[in-house]
Every structure is written in C-alpha cells, then in structure tokens.
Structure 1
Amino acid sequence: MDLAAAQQVLKTTFGYDEFRPGQKAVIEQVLAGQNTLAVMPTGGGKSLCYQIPALLFEGLTVVVSPLISLMKDQVDALNDNGIAATFINSSMAYREINQRLQELRAGDYTLLYIAPERLDSPQFIQALGNLPIKLLAIDEAHCISQWGHDFRPSYLALSTAIEQLPTQPQVLALTATATEQVAQDICQRLQIAPDNEVNTGFARDNLDLSVVKDQDTDQYILDYLAANAAEAGIIYASTRKEVTRIAALLKRHHIQATMYHAGLDDDVRRKNQEDFLYDRVQVMVATNAFGMGIDKSNVRFVIHAQVPGTLEAYYQEAGRAGRDGLPSQAILIYRAKDIQIQHFFIDESEMDDEHKHRSYHKLQLMTQYANTQGCLQQFILKYFGEASEPCGRCSNCRDDRAAQDITTATQKVLSCVVRLHARFGKGVVAQVLCGANNQRIRDLNLSDLPTYGIMNGQRQKSVTELIDFLTATGYLQTQGGQYPTLAVTKNGVAVLKGQTQVYRKTAQTVEQAAPENDALFEQLRTLRHNLAEEQHVPPFVIFSDKTLHSMCERLPENDEAFLDVKGVGASKLEKYGETFMETIRAYAHQPATAN
C-alpha cells in the first residue's frame, strides 16, 4: 500500500494538501505493517496518523483513549466527516454494547474507540477477539510508562490484550510528552523497534510561553481576560477549592466561565465540559482532571494560576492552547507558596520512596523553569532531550527591560551556602541571610556565622526567590529529594571569585493572545455556532478557527474554491459549503463603505 493513496485520503476526506511534520513518516511505517511510536506535540495532528490508515486498511482500527467523556466528541467529528466510527464505554448499557459488537462484526464501522479499563475485562478481550482488528492505536501512550508523569495501571493490560487478539494487530502508540526514558519504556512494553520511533520534536512555533511573578494573581487574570474577551481559554489550578474560588471570582466580574474538577457530580461535569466545548462559555477553570484528549481547537490561552508538579504535565496542559496552529499563549503564574501544595501532594501520595524522590526532583525543575531568565521553550526542550536555539517568542526572549546587576547580592547568598557546608535547603539559607531569630537558628548556633543577617534589609520571601533564580540559572544546585540541600556550582564559584557578574530582570504585563478578528470571521463564527447547536456537536467539529480564517482570506464563492480551503473535504463541502458561501458572498459584495 503506497503513500499516494494516503495523500488522496488526506485531500478528499480531510481537506488538506500536505502532511504536517512527522505524519507522512508515521503513516508510511503503519501502512508498511510496522509497530510505531509517534511522539508529536499537542496539536501536531496525531489523530490523522491512525485515521488515514484506518480508511485504507481492510479491517477495524481500535483506538484506546483514556477519557470516555471525550469519545463522543471524537466520534462525532469523524461521523461529520463521513467516516463510520463508534465507541464502547461504561456509559452504555449491556444490551447496547452487545448491539454495537454485533454491528462491528458485520463490518459497519471503520474505527472503534475504547477506554483502557475495558481491557481489564477478559470477557471484553474475548469479544474483541471476534473482530477483524488490523490496527491498535494507543493514544496518550505515556500513561503506559512508570517513568511518565501520568502513569495509569489500566494501561498495563494493553500488552497482554494484544497477545490475546487472534489477528495480532499492529500497534501505533502516540503521545505528546515523552522523555527519552519514557519513549524507551513504551517501545519495550509494546514491542516497538527503537528505530520505529518518529519524534518530530517538542517545539510549538505558535505557542508563546510566559512566566508571571510577583503580581496579584486575581488582578492579572481579570486584566488578561478583559484584554482577550472574545477568546476561549483554560485556567488551571491545583486544588478544587482554588478552582471554585477563581470560577466564582470570574462570575462576579460577569465573565462567562464554568469549572471542572473530580469533586463535581458527573452530570454537572459533563454539562460544564459541554458548555466550554460548545463555545457557550469563554473560560474553563479546572484542575488537571480536565483536558486530556480535549479536541477543542480554538483555545487561545492556557493560564496556570498555580504551579503544576512536573514539566511534562505543564507542557501537556499548556499545549491545549492553539491546537489549530494559530498564535496562542501559555502563561504560568508563579508563587513560591504554590510549590508547597505540590510538595504536600507528593508527601501524601501512595508512591514508593523511589517514585517520591523522582517527583521531588521534577518539582525542583518546575521551580527552576519558573525562575530562569533564559528562553522558556529552550528550557523545556532541553528537559525532553532536544537541543534548540532560543525561540524568540517567549516572555524571556522578548524581554527588553534593562537587567539589574545583582552580583553583590549573589555573592552574599553563595557565601552563606558555602558557610553552611551545603547541609541546608533554601529556607534555612534565607533565614540566616535575613537574620532570623527562631529556635532552629539558635539551636544550631547559625547566628554565629559571618553571613548571618547580611541581607537583613530584605524580606525573606525576596531572598528565597533570589535563591530560586540562582538555582535556575546554574549558580546553585539542589541535592536530595524531599528536603533538598543547596550547593554552589562551578559557575557559582566563578562569581565568588569575582570572575563573573550576575544580572536579573523583574515583572510582566498583560498581552492579547491573538490579533483581533475581522467582521467576516465573526459572522462565520456565529454561523458555525448556530449549526453546532442544531446538530448538538462542538463548533470545532464543523470547522476549526484556522479554516474559518482561511475562508476569510480566500473568499470562496463556488465549490471548487471552497474545496481549496484548508480543512474542507468533500463531506464538509456537501454539508456546509453552500451555507458558508452564502455568508461569504453577502460579505464580499457589500458596498465598499460597509466593509
């Protein structure tokens, strides 16, 4: 089976002329019958890597997807494109499942979506064994790895289930966030040859990363939403209590918002999620329980109001902005006290000591990310094992404020760490520098140190933030897990010897997430919203924002021109072409003064 057939499906069914980076290589391997791992950033087009082969293969493609609440949206999108897809999950009655299995055996569907928990049932695996399964696509495959940030035991049944299926289907594993260690683990568990990993890199060229520090979180969020009133976005918080508080704050300020966390009733969660997906509200305030597999393409911003526990989790959640490729923003609001919340989560978890130690280390890296003044994207890519140049777009790269010379303050901190013989963490270091007079300082006779009180004119919080900055920029390093201690690095020694100077910048302002939309775009967006409500599907299922913008540029007025718009295939033309072109014609032929 050659790639020309796949190219034809890409154009006629999905309305795209060219494959995105990595898609062609993945599809080529899948069509050649090879087990494959695809590591592509969120919004990189992973779903086409199994949907196109599914349309070319004889037999069924089964997609393992972790959230049953999103399967309907994924299936609706495929059905709207003229593709026979369905799902089986725990929301269905026993009789309905049997009916669906009967239809699958009869060959009525091309794709079947299931949750990994289904594979815990021997009866269900036996039922799958009666289906002509050609390809098993495993979405969010990092969940299978014990080294991943979102390990799920239910994913472990996958390798056993594959062995039990008579058709011995080939495997396509897909993920957006996999370090080298996680990728190796996935390949080993799913019998994927290391050479069959396709990794397009983790850079998101349309995503602007920002870190905001030392500001009133509530006021920043309100100012940001005022500047981006027409755009959809997600605000993440670490606790249910904080989610509830922020959602109430937004509603008091007449911002259309809803919330999502595991403590809400299932029906309430489902309704709130639907309101966001269907563009009935602008903002979703949520814990990390929300978002995995979310296909909403027009999320223009993701704000983390509290610090997440790992860089993997942060980048995956941040990557839910701009899935359509349009300019979008990911903003981390950093407060040192929020790190303590994540520390508490690790302390109270049921992880063994090894996993806890690993989690503490990942949390330290999250702190370093928030405090670096280097390129934010470069920091993340380095974590994933990828070398890169500065992105030129993040808040640090675009920061043209004058840097302040903090060499003297740095030398004071580094000198104190040396005097403490690298036996204490940043809390004690800050207390000694600020001249604290508590029981521990007295018991350890730390007030006798030459560095005791040499920064007593500063707040302890400010000194702690300076220590975080010096750690992020490589002058200090942390050692140990739950209670890390500080040590001076080679770069730090150079500062102590007067061979290197240290500079630092401060504070951020609100920006618009994307350029303002023109009048035609707003008309098409309203039309899309009305059609979506009639059909009870999310608006992005009909057309993405990117496709609407393309219509505004091209102004198609006949079928041929409409098919040339990116994201328009034959099925979409038949369903929606005339309706959208009617609006475009009316706009294009208005008197010039009315435009």
Structure 2
Amino acid sequence: MFNQPEKILQSYFGYASFRPGQKKVIDHILHKRHTLAIMPTGGGKSLCYQIPGLIMDGTAIIISPLISLMKDQVDALLSLGISATFINSSLSNSEQQKRLKEIKTGRYQFVYVAPERFESGLFLHTIQSIPISFVAFDEAHCISQWGHDFRPSYRLIVPILKQLHHIDTYVALTATATEAVISDIQELLDIHPEHIVNTGFKRENLSFHVVKGKDKRNYLRHFLEKRTEESGIIYAATRKQVDGIYEWLRREGYSVGKYHAGLSENERQRAQTQFVHDETNLMIATNAFGMGIDKSNVRFVIHYAMPMNIESYYQEAGRAGRDGEPSDCILLYSPQDVQLQKFLIEQSMMDDVTKEREYEHLQAMINYCHTHSCLASYILQYFNDLEAIEACETCSNCTYRKEKIDITEEAQMILSCVKRMDERYGISLTAKVLRGSKDKKVRELGFTKLSTYGLLSHYTERDITERIQFLIAEGLLQSVGGRYPTLKLNAKSVEVLKGKRHVTMYAAPIPTVETADYYYDLFMELRQLRKQIADEMAVPPYVLFSDATLKDMCRYLPKTEEEFLQIKGVGERKYEQYGEAFLKRIALWHASYPDKKARIQITDHRRTNDSSPKKDTRSSHMISYDLFKSGKTLKEIAIIRDLSLMTIVNHIFKAYQEGHTVIWDIFFTEEEETLVLEKQREIDERRLKPLKEALPEEYSYTKIKAILVKHSLI
C-alpha cells in the first residue's frame, strides 16, 4: 500500500515526483494518523488526500465550506475516471436522496459535503452505515476561533464526528494559519505535533507590488491594456465600488463579471461559472468571492483598496498563479483605505477585545503598505515562517529600487516631534505640527511653540504622513492603540535620535509584463482547443490541463505520445482522453511554421510536481549581460527581467568593467557620439546632469553614459 502513491501520482496526475510535504502528509494518512497540513495556495493540498483516498478502503469524506469548490473538484476527479460526488444545498431533495442511497452502496471513493449536512440525521445515519477511510477538513482555518474567517457552524462538526466511533483518521488542510490557529486546530482534532506538516507560506511564483500615489483608475487602465488575454481578479472594498468598476470596464469593452453579496444567488453563480470556464477574463468582486475557486490560470489579483488584515490579503492574493506560473499581486493603496477599514471595524458587532485585536491586524496591514523591505519577506515574517525569509527579488520593493534617499535627518525631526508632543498623539496631528499647520487644534494645544513646529514645512502633509508610516513599518516608531492610535518611541527610535542608526528610503514604480519564453500564438490555439473540449464535457478548462502545462507544450513541441507524457501535468489517463487532439493541433501549427524549433529539449526531469522556479546561480548583472550578448535589446531585457532600463544599463557597464566584450556603438550613432564628447569637454567631466541639460532632449542618460564609458570618461 505504501509504495503506491508515486504510481498514482504519475498515472493519474502526470507528475514524477511530489512537492515538498506532500509525501509526508500522505504517509501520515495511510498510517491512520490525525494530520494537519499547512501548504500555500497552489501547493497541492488536494493531492494529499486524493491519493490516500484512492489507496485506502472505504469512502473519504471531504468537508468543505465552499459549494463552488466541491463541484469543481468532483468534476476534476470524474474526468480522471475516479468515482466522486458532492452533497450540498445546491441539490434538490430528490437528488440528495438519490446520492445518499448511492453512498450507502459504497459507490463513491470521495464524497464532498458542506458543514450543514452534519445537522441532518439522515446524512449521519448514511455515513454510519459505510466504512470511512478518513474525514478531511478543507479550508481548516475556518474551524478555528482565531482564524480570520472563523465559522462557528464548521467548528461544531467536530464533537458530532467524535461520536461516530468508526472514524479513526482526521485530516485538516489550510493555506493560511498563524501560530494561534495551528495550535487551536491541533488541540481540537487531537493532532500530535509530529504529525503537523508545515511547508511554509512562500509562493515563489508570485510577485507582490504596492502602488501608492497613483490615480487608481488610470493605473488599472494602463495595466489592463497590457493584459487583455489574461485572467485576473480585482477586489474592491464595497458593493458600490464593485458596481462602479464593473460598469466602467464593461463600457471600455473588457470581458468582465462581478460578484458581491447584493446579487442574487443565480447572478453570483452565473458570474462565477463564466469566470471559471474562461468565458470572462476579469472578475470584479468583494471578499465574498474566491475562497475555494480552483481556477489555476489567474495571472493577477489587484486589490483596489487595502484589506483589513494580512491573512485575508494573502489568501485573496494567493488566488493568482495556482498553476505555478509567474503572476502579480498588486495592492493599490490610498490613505482613505485606512479610514474605511476602521469604519468597518467600528460598525461590526464585535466586542471590544476582538475590535482591539482587529486594529492590531489592521496596523500590520498598514505597515505592509509602507515598508521598504521585501514584501514577500514581510508576509512570511508575519506568519512566523522565519526559515523561508530572504529577499524575493521580484516584489516592487526588491525590484524597483532606484537611488537610496537618506532621510535620517527627517526621521530625527519626526521622532523629536513625537517626543515633544509627549507621545500622546497620532500621525495626522504630528504631521500637521511638522508641516507648520495653522490648524485650530495645533494652536489650541500650544504646538506652534514647539521647536519642531514647521521643521518640515517644505513637504506636503501627505509626504510627512508617508514618512511617519514608513518609520512605523520599519519598526523605528510605534503606533499603539485601537481606533485612535498614538505614536510612541522605542529603542530603535532612540538609536536614530542619537545618530547611531541611519534611515534610507527607496522609490518604486509599476510592474511590467514579462516576455513569453514559449510560442504565444500556439498557446492561444491550445487554449481555444482546451475550451472547446471543456465545453463539450461541461467542466472548467483547467480540469483538462493547466496553463502551465499548455505553456510547456508550447516550449517543448512534443511530437509523440512518449514526449507528450513527459510534459508536467500530463498523466496516462489524461493522454488517453485528450492527448491525440492536442498532439494533432501542435503538429498542424508546426507544419505552418516548420522553421520553429522547440525552445527547450524534453528530458525526463520535466515532469516534476515542484512548481517553484529554479534559482539562477549567475550574478544578476551577468544574467543581463548574457541576454544582451544573445541579441536582446536593453528594453527587452528590462521587460524580461522586470527591472528598470537604467538598472540593465548599469549591469552591462559592470560586465564591461569586468572585462566582458560590449559593442557600444549599438547605443548611438557616430554623430551623437561626437556631439556628446564636444559638450562633455565644456562641462564638468564627471557630472551627467549638466551634460544632459546641455544636449538636445532626445539624448537619454543611457546614451550619454554609454558614450562616456566607451571613452573611459566615466
């Protein structure tokens, strides 16, 4: 029995090896141990119980609070020839009765059920009469009172199940869990510490971006112009906001749906189905949408407003890139978002203690929006995933660092002002004092007499607020309290005030689109074929093959069954059902473009189930240089690597200084070179800015710098 998992993984699911943690979870279940699996979204949690369910005797009961997820997962299993069904409120009474009778006969290996089924005596009687292999709790954070999406009705299932003595194995699976949530689930389900498998929260294929100070609609317009064929989710804070964005994008001609609690059940279900089946590209939604949506090819998730806490944000953002392909998670921040979230906390029915905890979570979310540290590392640190913390090199803070701005002196002024205001006031009033505001409250409290009054009058109040938020995010200043927090100094504040610690900030622009390393036109043809077959089968397209698998087909151009089976995500069962149709379409495309060669040769190592991108061992500047040497333009390299143009130029210069060959003349003409050199002799030899101002407007810094480097003048 214990040797079977690898064979099933390969023949059913098309992978030659397990992802980290999967085999360990499977072994625990096969040995009938209560198990908790914490794996990131897209980390392959469903395989952890599907494979044991295929091996063990009896029926596996999968409890899910998500009706939409049940149907999608059952469809996926049925497409592989695996017997599965679901029971929830979407079925008529007669259909429920029919399925319960079939369950009694032992027809199904997997039964997906909603939590409310356990309130039904008929359902409990049914499962008492059949052998149960195990019970799995999907989205297990919902059963914890410390979880951000706690559902009391889900938790109440546990004592009911413990009365059914023929169930001896529980499995809990979740993608988001703090230490408190993990401890709560562990105690509730009697899980031994050695049977907790936590692979961490890191999602290496996701790039996180925080965009501040931009008009949100303009940003969306420019972003979506470059992503017209991709699937994405745009989360808004309110129903009104969802309706407004939806109507605007619909008028702009985008394929768009909307989802919020103000719509009827039929309207929500239709919108969700159209999105999952690739009939609409964009979903505009409140946080009511998404948990359990198993759509693997969501290429971006944009938050139009800041969520209330990191747990919610990471779960919602994590709906991007479930197939392991590079995807963007973008948060459009404005200060008004904070006030909205505070209003929502105050209007809630929570008690004072719970509200205080929510304010702490909100502050952590605010800090995320203002930190200049690696965004991915900030999230991992929040979840105490300390082993995985390292700069991701893909988030906006890592990738778009331009010149460092030393703000030590300004930080000292801010901290000094907080001290002189007796650490009793918040961000807004502190910013007004530093700005030199004539605000009534500033005058009444006598703050115009402070030595720090007006010290930063050359900045706008918004700029000062941004810097204060940055100091809080970096731990150099504290924000203490709930609805009306006050600023407090800490040990790091004292170090800054004494000049023992320097403070720097970075600037960060908008993410760019990555250049495809596969044949894009073939990819679009295969997507169309996948959609056609999926429609005939009445299942979502990703049930056939994920986008990641289609892209590999477009990289390797398989010609035979043997080659096709080496594509990751293609198992024997899927080849039997769809392989010939896809091979035929690839062959037809190749016949039209006979000069096109496979981008990468197929090897036996390609079918690994580990979707994490492999680390490039070359130094960053040599990666850019090798692309430059292969014939890529500087602009193309900047797009491919998601870096600024000037960063790429500096990479090429560094390679040149190390002795690598660079043909500088591709940067400029002979006339341009002559003009720059003439002007350079008239101006300070080492300064680019005066030289730029003395030359015609079309002379970029890139061009000027290249000419000066060629002549060893810089």
* Fold shared by both chains (TM-score > 0.5): yes
Deviation, 1:123, is: 4.5
Equivalence for 1:538: 540
Deviation, 1:453, is: 2.8
Amino acid in the other structure paired with 1:155: Y
Q: Deviations over 1:228-268 (max 9, x none)?
A: 22211111111111111111221222121111111111111
Structure 1: gaps of 5 or more residues: none
Equivalence for 2:131: 132
| Whole-Å separation in 2 of the counterparts to 1:122 and 1:364 | 45
Equivalence for 1:408: 409
What secondary structure is seen at the aligned counterpart in 2 of 1:592? coil
| Whole-Å separation in 1 of the counterparts to 2:458 and 2:151 | 49
Deviation, 1:581, is: 1.2
Deviation, 1:475, is: 1.2
Deviation, 1:129, is: 2.1
Q: Which moved more, 1:409-418 or 1:551-560?
A: 551-560
| Whole-Å separation in 2 of the counterparts to 1:124 and 1:339 | 45
Deviation, 1:593, is: 5.3
Deviation, 1:513, is: 5.5
| Whole-Å separation in 2 of the counterparts to 1:154 and 1:579 | 46
2:524 to 522, 525, 536: 522
| Whole-Å separation in 2 of the counterparts to 1:326 and 1:594 | 23
Change in 2 beyond 3 A, CA 1:429/1:53: same
Amino acid in the other structure paired with 1:343: K
| Whole-Å separation in 2 of the counterparts to 1:293 and 1:254 | 28
Equivalence for 1:566: 568
Equivalence for 1:235: 234
Amino acid in the other structure paired with 2:536: E
Deviation, 1:130, is: 2.5
| Whole-Å separation in 1 of the counterparts to 2:363 and 2:274 | 36
Change in 2 beyond 3 A, CA 1:120/1:349: farther
| Whole-Å separation in 2 of the counterparts to 1:570 and 1:545 | 19
Residues 50-61 of structure 1: matches in 2 within 5 Å? 50-61=49-60
What secondary structure is seen at the aligned counterpart in 2 of 1:61? strand
Q: Deviations over 1:416-454 (max 9, x none)?
A: 110122111112212222233444334433333222333
Q: Which moved more, 1:581-590 or 1:280-289?
A: 581-590
| Whole-Å separation in 2 of the counterparts to 1:19 and 1:161 | 34
| Whole-Å separation in 2 of the counterparts to 1:570 and 1:104 | 28
Deviation, 1:323, is: 0.5
Equivalence for 1:48: 47
Q: Which moved more, 1:300-309 or 1:382-391?
A: 382-391
Q: Is the 8 A contact 1:213 1:508 kept in 2?
A: no
| Whole-Å separation in 2 of the counterparts to 1:5 and 1:500 | 58
| Whole-Å separation in 1 of the counterparts to 2:365 and 2:520 | 39
Q: Is the 8 A contact 1:237 1:285 kept in 2?
A: yes
Change in 2 beyond 3 A, CA 1:264/1:83: same
Amino acid in the other structure paired with 1:404: I
Equivalence for 1:553: 555
| Whole-Å separation in 1 of the counterparts to 2:157 and 2:130 | 17
Q: Which moved more, 1:489-498 or 1:124-133?
A: 124-133
| Whole-Å separation in 1 of the counterparts to 2:335 and 2:123 | 47
Q: Deviations over 1:90-129 (max 9, x none)?
A: 1112221111011011111111111123224445333332
Amino acid in the other structure paired with 2:384: G
Deviation, 1:302, is: 0.7
What secondary structure is seen at the aligned counterpart in 2 of 1:191? coil
Q: Is the 8 A contact 1:61 1:112 kept in 2?
A: yes
Deviation, 1:542, is: 1.0
Equivalence for 1:354: 353
| Whole-Å separation in 1 of the counterparts to 2:373 and 2:171 | 36
Amino acid in the other structure paired with 2:472: T
Equivalence for 1:82: 81
Deviation, 1:24, is: 0.6
| Whole-Å separation in 1 of the counterparts to 2:90 and 2:84 | 17
Equivalence for 1:6: 5
1:496 aligned onto 2:519 = no
Change in 2 beyond 3 A, CA 1:316/1:287: same
| Whole-Å separation in 2 of the counterparts to 1:298 and 1:375 | 25
Change in 2 beyond 3 A, CA 1:38/1:8: same
What secondary structure is seen at the aligned counterpart in 1 of 2:398? coil
Q: Is the 8 A contact 2:211 2:509 kept in 1?
A: yes
Amino acid in the other structure paired with 1:78: L
Q: Deviations over 1:196-238 (max 9, x none)?
A: 1100111111111111111111111111111122211111111
Equivalence for 2:581: 579
Identical aligned residues as a percent: 48
Equivalence for 2:421: 420
| Whole-Å separation in 1 of the counterparts to 2:557 and 2:596 | 17
1:27 aligned onto 2:29 = no
| Whole-Å separation in 1 of the counterparts to 2:132 and 2:321 | 33
| Whole-Å separation in 1 of the counterparts to 2:16 and 2:507 | 45
Q: Is the 8 A contact 1:405 1:501 kept in 2?
A: yes
Deviation, 1:326, is: 0.8
Q: Deviations over 1:156-194 (max 9, x none)?
A: 112112212231241110000111111011111111112
Q: Deviations over 1:381-422 (max 9, x none)?
A: 111112212112211111230021222221221111101221
What secondary structure is seen at the aligned counterpart in 2 of 1:333? strand
Residues 279-428 of structure 1: matches in 2 within 5 Å? 279-387=278-386, 388-428=389-429
| Whole-Å separation in 1 of the counterparts to 2:584 and 2:558 | 10
Amino acid in the other structure paired with 1:183: I
Amino acid in the other structure paired with 2:540: P
Deviation, 1:555, is: 2.6
What secondary structure is seen at the aligned counterpart in 2 of 1:47? helix
Q: Is the 8 A contact 2:256 2:280 kept in 1?
A: yes
What secondary structure is seen at the aligned counterpart in 2 of 1:13? helix
What secondary structure is seen at the aligned counterpart in 1 of 2:197? strand
Q: Is the 8 A contact 2:236 2:303 kept in 1?
A: yes
Q: Is the 8 A contact 1:144 1:155 kept in 2?
A: yes
Structure 2: gaps of 5 or more residues: 598-714
Change in 2 beyond 3 A, CA 1:16/1:119: same
What secondary structure is seen at the aligned counterpart in 2 of 1:433? helix
Amino acid in the other structure paired with 1:447: T
| Whole-Å separation in 1 of the counterparts to 2:65 and 2:514 | 30
Equivalence for 1:212: 211
Amino acid in the other structure paired with 2:422: H
| Whole-Å separation in 1 of the counterparts to 2:572 and 2:318 | 30
Equivalence for 1:455: 456
| Whole-Å separation in 2 of the counterparts to 1:84 and 1:226 | 43
Deviation, 1:514, is: 6.2
Amino acid in the other structure paired with 2:184: D
Amino acid in the other structure paired with 1:399: Y
| Whole-Å separation in 1 of the counterparts to 2:220 and 2:116 | 37
Q: Deviations over 1:463-482 (max 9, x none)?
A: 21111111011210122222
Residues 258-269 of structure 1: matches in 2 within 5 Å? 258-269=257-268
Equivalence for 2:141: 142
Q: Is the 8 A contact 2:103 2:126 kept in 1?
A: no
What secondary structure is seen at the aligned counterpart in 2 of 1:91? coil
Deviation, 1:489, is: 2.1
Change in 2 beyond 3 A, CA 1:409/1:500: same
Q: Is the 8 A contact 2:116 2:153 kept in 1?
A: yes
Amino acid in the other structure paired with 1:472: A
TM-score of the superposed pair, with normalisation by structure 2: 0.81
Equivalence for 2:591: 589
Q: Is the 8 A contact 2:400 2:508 kept in 1?
A: no
| Whole-Å separation in 1 of the counterparts to 2:593 and 2:352 | 72
Amino acid in the other structure paired with 2:351: D
What secondary structure is seen at the aligned counterpart in 1 of 2:577? helix
Q: Is the 8 A contact 1:307 1:338 kept in 2?
A: yes
